Amino acid sequence: MLKKRGLYIGFIVLAIALFSGCKTKYEKLRLSSDKDLKLQKAFEFYEQAEYLKAQYLLEDLIGAVRMTKDAEKVYFYYAYTHYHLKNFSFASYYFKKFADTYPTGQYAEEALFKSADSFYKLSPNYRLTQEDTESAVEGLQLFINTYPYSEKVAECNERIDQLRSKLELKAFDSAKGYFRRKRYKASSYSFKNLLISYPDTKEAEFIRYMIVKSTFKYAQQSVLSKQIERYEETSEHCDKFKKRHQESKYFKEIEIILASATNKIKKIRNEY
């Protein structure tokens, strides 16, 4: 029994020793002052898709190769390790920093595209905060402006359209949410801003309809001294709607709201 137990313990000790040996080998490589060997191994790990190992070595090398012929490649591949590991926030930062540092380098165009592409991959569902979506649009537009003749320009434009549709949907959903919660001032402002930000929106008819309803509801809940000017604003939006959407299914409702707003104005003026 003791013999078996001794063999078992010996096996565990051997396994730990072997594991420690493998770990020590990589750690020794990291601690090595042989820059050329570390470069070689870093790119070998990268080609073998062992991106985390490559990343650690490249991170160690960034300072050591600064101002040398290897600096550009080391930094570029370091940014790519973050990209492959799906650390897209870091990837975008390092790709952008690379593009700024080496604007005429051989990897500059790809780096600037990948910086925007990283934010594109971070862009969430439209119901969530859209900071990454906005950053992606800015990054893609910057790429187009910087490399207008790049073969990636068409792809960038397609992605911008896609992302702007998401931003529009987010803004549209937010405006409707304000209306549902009876925050009519915020609702009317949000719907108006939608038309400014997305003048070609397919929802223009519905948006103008909601502007009329929001301003009308806002006028109704206003203090008496503010009601005339706010009903007048509703009337203006009714007129704009009627001129633009004469065949709309909302047309009769708009006429009813317009008549009601006009009557309210007359009543307030007659009484006060």
Cα torsion angle, 61, 67, 69, 75, sign: positive
* 187 exposure class (CB count in 10 Å sphere: 0-12, 13-18, 19+): buried
* pLDDT grade for 5, boundaries at 50, 70 and 90: very low
Q: How far apart are CA 114 and CA 83, in angstroms?
A: 8
Is the pLDDT confidence value at 121 over 80? yes
Residue 210 located in a structural domain: yes
pLDDT of residue 8: 44
Percent of the chain with pLDDT over 90: 82
Statement: residue 34 has pLDDT above 80: no
Task: Tell me if 205 is assigned to some domain.
Answer: yes
Query: What span, in angstroms and rounded, lies between the C-alpha atoms of 96 and 72?
Result: 13
The DSSP symbol for 272 reads -
Residue 237 clears pLDDT 70, i.e. is over it: yes
Residue 13 binned pLDDT confidence (cut-offs 50, 70, 90): very low
> Residue 238 is part of which domain span?
182-272
- Report yes or no on 114 lying in a domain: no
Summarize the confidence of residues 119-143 as an average pLDDT.
96
- Is 124 part of a structural domain of the chain? no
239 belongs to a structural domain: yes
pTM attached to this predicted model: 0.82
- Residue 61's pLDDT is 92
Q: Which helix H or strand E contains 110, and what residues bound it?
A: helix 108-122
DSSP 36-67: HHHHHHHHHHHHTT-HHHHHHHHHHHHHHTTT
On the question of pLDDT at 36 being above 90, the answer is no
30-39, 123-132, 208-217, range with greatest mean pLDDT: 208-217
* Those residues with Cβ within 8 angstroms of residue 28's Cβ, 6 or more apart along the chain or in another chain: none
Q: Quick one: average pLDDT of 108-114? A: 98
217 three-class SS:
helix
Secondary structure of residue 233 in the 3-state scheme: helix
For residue 6, pLDDT beyond 50: no
Percentage helix, strand, coil for the chain under 3-state DSSP, each rounded to 5: 80, 0, 20
State how many domains the chain has: 1
Q: Give the model's pLDDT for residue 31.
A: 74
Q: Is residue 232 a part of any domain in this protein?
A: yes
pLDDT digits (tens, 9 = 90+) for 70-104: 999 999 999 999 999 999 999 999 999 999 999 99
Where does the pLDDT of residue 23 fall: very low under 50, low under 70, confident under 90, or very high at 90 and above?
A: low
**What tokens appear for 121 in the block?**
């991959």
Question: For the chain, what is the total number of helices (H) and then of strands (E)?
Answer: 12, 0
Residue 105 in domain:
no
d(CA 191, CA 174): 9
Q: What is the DSSP string of 111-142?
A: HHHHHHHHHHHH---TTS--HHHHHHHHHHHH
What is the tens place of the pLDDT at every residue in 149-182? Answer: 999 999 999 999 999 999 999 999 999 999 999 9
Average pLDDT over residues 193-208: 96
Q: What is the pLDDT of residues 255-268, one digit of tens each?
A: 999 999 999 999 99
26 domain residue, yes or no: no
As a whole-number percent, the residues of the chain with pLDDT over 70 amount to: 91
Average pLDDT of the residues in 118-137: 95
